[in-house]
Structure 1
Amino acid sequence: MKVRVYAVLLGLFIIAAGGVVAQDDFTSSGAINRSDENGLRQGPWEKTYPDGTLMYRANFLDGKPVGEMLRYHPGGKLMARVVYDAEGVNGKGELFDENGLKVAEGCYIGSDKTGEWRFYNSKGDLLTKENYKNNLKDGESRSYYQSGRPASLRMWRAGVLHGAEIIWYPSGSKRLTASYEDGELHGAYTVYYENGHQEVFGRYNKGKMDGPWFFLDSFGKEEYRLNYKNGVADEQELLERREDERFREFEKNRGRIKDPEDYRNDPDSYMMRQ
């Protein structure tokens, strides 16, 4: 996703902006790109792309950015604006796409994202809300459909999935509930039909299916069950037969089957496809 690219570029930009350069440049308005005798950046700094277009502009005090820091796309449009406090520690940032539309906003401590960050699509609709600590996802992360209804909820700890996961249909009914422990599926796992009936349910143990798993039709009637141990089903013959049936059904409906990867890229279209 381009928004993530902008966020990474901005982070690298902030880190690079704190580097040491001992050379002074001058313009008609005075010195820029100046470092003191200790190698710390002081005052206004600018950098341009090879074609001379402005890349960024910032002010420094003792090597830390203070006030407004601006980063531009190669075409000249504003890519990012971060406003730091007088100590150059806490900053509030906004990211923009090549058309000048805001795609993200949140806070920094130094060059690290912190607290709640919001990401938007090209129409200005809220796509996700994520919480950060030390530049890593930490706490609640939510995504939304263009209607504003929730699409997913995931819990993170130090950049790793840890806790509840819920995915919803665009209608608002649940599609999936699960839980993670240290980045692995662990505990109850349930998939639902849109009418609210369970489609599949079972349990994971440290990333592997464990114990009885139940598979039901859309009316809630059990179709079959499988017993797993360490991720392997006892009823391999039944499993293979069911997988073969699903494969033949897939071939029959090729082109109409939802690709799970599409969900990450476009949850609205994914859920609405039949």
Structure 2
Amino acid sequence: MRAPSVMRLVLLSVPLCSAPAWAIERCSFQGKPINLDNGNSTAKLTGTVRCVDEDTKKETHTVSFKNGKQDGWEVRRWSDGRAVEQEYKAGKRHGGFKRYEDGRLVETSHYVDDNEQGESLRYHPNGKVSRRVDRQPEDEKSTYEDYDETGRLTKAGCGLRSSWEAGLKDCVWKGPSPLVFFHPNGQKRAVIPLKNGRRDGVTELFDKDGQRTATHAYAAGVLDGVSTRYAAGKALTSTTWVQGQREGDETEFFNDGGKKQVVTWKDRQQVKRVEYFQNGERKHELVVTGDRAVESYFEDDGSLRERRNLLKGDFHNGFDPDGVTEAFFPDGGTERREHYVKGKAEGRRQVWAENGTLVEDSQWTKDRVTTRKRWNPDGGLVEDEAFHEDGSRKKK
């Protein structure tokens, strides 16, 4: 009499599958029961173990061994049409991989020495490829391509962890030029001219309604020339690039097309920034020369309101007042003049009334006032004080 087969209560589930189902498996090798969960049972095994569902008697699992290690195909099948097939060599995943849902092939891949490597494919329900990956040991040499259900390319690039779109830098596209990406509705998302597999010329980007959203000039796969962003057919920003670095003017526009801000770049540094009123007059200007800068504020009629001399901060990336700061009345007369050293008031501070009368004259040390005189606009003295380090007035 044949001995009864060993039963296995198995939770049938694989990644990316729906809710698991319970089943009892009976596994055997050459007609004899075997327990796949017991390593001693398979320690010297060569051949194929087959498992069936106790109720349906349908084959649910086959595992091939050689000298006690998995070698060949392992196949798992579920009653709902799911299945997974994995090839092994000397106990490691090595070779093909296939995954099915509802009896339909949804994914194929390839393994080398227990690591996924080479081409893998995923499929849409209609059988067309949805994603193609060529996985290489060096991630930056891996490539990917995504397609919609009609076979139109939606995305492609290099690197699966830190991704670069096709044609950028060293991500060479082996397909035809121009490289075209599509939105889900079939509208072109990007039209990318190529030369030797790298972006070269003006790339155009579009939204799902066909409106142009940007243009980028490239040379040998890096930004080189003018890049412009658009909204409702009007330019929002325009940036000049040289060999992948911003160099020259970066301009932001008002909706009416007028300049809103212009930032000038040189050697990766901002050397000038000008903000404008919508009437075209300057609003704010910062001009940088090495570690120093001059900052100016203007009224909307173009008159200068304030000018500050600045020095790059010791402990931050911004600038601090250093030197003379002056404020002006609308007629150009001086309203205030003060002196700073590395962000702190140091030296003389003077304030004038609109009629030109001096109304304050004070001395400062390390951001605190030491002496101060104040007058009425008609010239009458109203204050003449000296101060201690704690800010209290010295007694006369």
Q: TM-score, normalised by structure 2?
A: 0.46
- 8 Å CA contact 2:239, 2:251 repeated in 1: yes
Q: 1:251 maps to what in 2?
A: none
* Gaps in structure 2 of 5+ consecutive residues: 1-139, 159-169, 313-318, 375-382, 384-396
Preserved CA contact (<8 Å) 2:224 2:244: no
Cα pair distance change 1:236/1:67, threshold 3 Å: same
CA distance in 1, matches of 2:278, 2:341: 35
Q: 1:221 to 1:64 in 2, by over 3 A?
A: farther
Q: What runs of 5+ residues in structure 1 fail to find an aligned partner? A: 1-18, 243-274
Match of 2:369 among 210, 233, 237: 233
Q: Deviations over 1:58-112 (max 9, x none)?
A: 3455674222223345776332111223564523211113x22112223113443
- SS of the aligned residue for 2:143 comes to coil
Residue 121 (str. 1) matches residue 257 (str. 2): no
For 1:21 and 1:100, how far apart are their aligned partners in 2?
37
1:146 aligned to 2:267?
no
The count of corresponding residues between Structure 1 and Structure 2 is 216
1:15-54 Cα shifts (integer Å, max 9, x gaps):
xxxx765123468798785669xx82314253658x8876
Residues 204 and 73 from structure 1, CA distance in 2 versus in 1: closer, same or farther, beyond 3 angstroms? farther
> Is this contact kept in 1: 2:345–2:366, CA < 8 A?
yes
Paired position in structure 2 for 1:256: none
Q: Identity of counterpart residues, as a percentage? A: 14
Of 191, 194, 199, which residue of structure 1 is paired with 2:327? Answer: 191
Mapped to 1, the partners of 2:266 and 2:323 lie a distance apart of 26
Tell me how far 1:191 sits from its aligned partner.
0.5
Matched, 1:173 2:303: yes
CA deviation after TM superposition for structure 1 residue 237, in Å: 12
CA distance in structure 1 between the partners assigned to 2:193 and 2:155 by the alignment: 9
Go from structure 1 to structure 2 and tell me whether the alpha carbon gap of 1:60 and 1:32 turns closer, same or farther (over 3 Å shift).
Answer: farther
1:46 corresponds in structure 2 to: 181
* Counterpart residue identity of residue 214, structure 1: Q
Counterpart amino acid of residue 330 in structure 2? E
Q: Does 1:162 align with 2:315?
A: no
The equivalences for 1:11-90 within 5 A come to 22-25=143-146, 40-42=171-173, 43=175, 44=179, 46=181, 48=183, 56-60=190-194, 64-72=198-206, 77-85=211-219, 88=222, 90=224
1:176 and 1:20, CA in 2 relative to 1: closer, same or farther beyond 3 A? farther
**Contact 1:45–1:60, Cα closer than 8 Å, also in 2:** no
What is the match of residue 246 of structure 1? none
TM-score (norm 1): 0.64
Contact 1:34 1:45 in 2 (8 A): no
Q: Is the alpha carbon distance of 1:88 and 1:218 closer, same or farther for their aligned partners in structure 2, counting shifts above 3 Å?
A: same
Higher relative contact order (CA 8 A, sep 6+): 1
Query: What's the offset of the Cα at 1:190?
Result: 0.2
CA distance in 1, matches of 2:195, 2:346: 58
Query: Judging changes above 3 Å, is the alpha-carbon distance between structure 1 residues 218 and 35 closer, same or farther for their aligned structure 2 residues?
Result: closer
Aligned to 2:77: none
Deviation for aligned residue 1:202: 0.9
CA distance in 2: counterparts of 1:231 and 1:47, whole angstroms? 61
Q: Is the 8 A contact 2:180 2:189 kept in 1?
A: no
1-structure distance, mates of 2:144, 2:364: 66
Q: What residue number does 1:254 align with?
A: none
Which amino acid in structure 2 is aligned with residue 177 of structure 1? R
Is the 8 Å Cα contact of residues 66 and 85 (structure 1) preserved in structure 2?
Answer: yes
Change in 2 beyond 3 A, CA 1:56/1:157: farther
> Which is richer in helix?
1
How many Å separate the matches in 2 of 1:124 and 1:107? 18
* TM-fit CA distance, 1:157: 5.5
2:362·2:373 contact (CA, 8 Å) conserved in 1? no
User: How far apart, in 1, do the equivalents of 2:208 and 2:153 lie?
Assistant: 24
* Post-superposition offset of 1:214: 0.9
Q: 1:165 to 1:63 in 2, by over 3 A?
A: farther
Alignment correspondent of 1:203: 339
Matching residue's letter, 1:142:
V
8 Å contact from structure 1 (residues 156, 163) kept in 2: yes
| CA–CA separation in structure 1 for the residues paired with 2:187 and 2:372 | 63
Q: CA separation in 1, counterparts of 2:219 and 2:207? A: 24
Q: Which has the larger radius of gyration?
A: 2
Q: Counterparts in 2 of 1:92-111, with a 5 A limit?
A: 92-97=226-231, 99-111=232-244
